[in-house]
Structure 1
Amino acid sequence: MKVSIVMGSISDKEIGDKVTKILDKFGVEYELRVISAHRTPHIAVEFAEKVEENGIEAIVAIAGKAAHLAGIIAGITPIPVIGIPVKSSTMDGLDSLLSVVQMPKGVPVATVAINGGENGGLLAVQILSLKYPELRQKFKEYKKKMSEEVIKMDKEIQS
């Protein structure tokens, strides 16, 4: 199982690190790349064309402003693409969100929250868990632990 995390700029690495932290927690192999849909479009296309050949099973694309990276990759590959819009200095990331979420019919991109690195990683794990039962079990345990933490906080507040 392998996930490719593609960032439109090295400035997106902080969000990419949130994705890798989640994937590490679940034992999912990944690669981290910087590929710009606008500044290196030929590399973006070549990457998308070779995803299957390279054994990639899910893609997390992180980009801001005119965030077309997830869309260009999704337009080429049949592999699931998760888009993470980045909060930029203009429009608080709304421009990025709309660029990722407003895809034309036939080119789906799963989109998580602006700067939502953790959820991007978790969604990649959920997608892979359809094929890898051990990941599904780890995900169930993760959700149970999360629930237990909230219950514990609730009990502490009520005390």
Structure 2
Amino acid sequence: MRYHLNEGQFDIPDDGRIDRSMNVLAMPDGSGTTLIVSRDALQAQETLEQFVTRQMRDLTRQVSQLKEVSRGGVAIGSPIRELRGIELVTQFRQNGQALYQRQAVCQLSPASRNVLILTASSAIPFDAEALAIWQRALASFQPRT
């Protein structure tokens, strides 16, 4: 399988490996909103909604005071190549620090088990600027063909 990343590509065995890589785009001083791109895969016969529920259950074991603020449908990308997914808004404490997150979870194609998770994370509640960054990231996404 040819594996692509920003810096290039390489060949790896096509033996059922699941891409669980993560890209973290943060400000040098740690301030502001951090954008995270991560990948996973649906389990056999699992729906996207079941995947999100399973991930939330796992997160409950890893952080404290997890609060799911909202969960609903979201469009990712332009109307021409739009992906439909689930948006989660959560807040929790990790290592004693409050974190506020917005996540958009989608399947890259109906025929694929591959899941893409876009996350915006901040130590302070999202203000208008942070929400605008999030909306721009979602609207501008273009899946690789």
TM exceeds 0.5?
Answer: no
Q: Which one has the bigger helix percentage?
A: 1
Q: TM-score, normalised by structure 1?
A: 0.27
Q: Which has the higher strand share?
A: 2
Which structure has the larger Rg over C-alpha atoms? 1
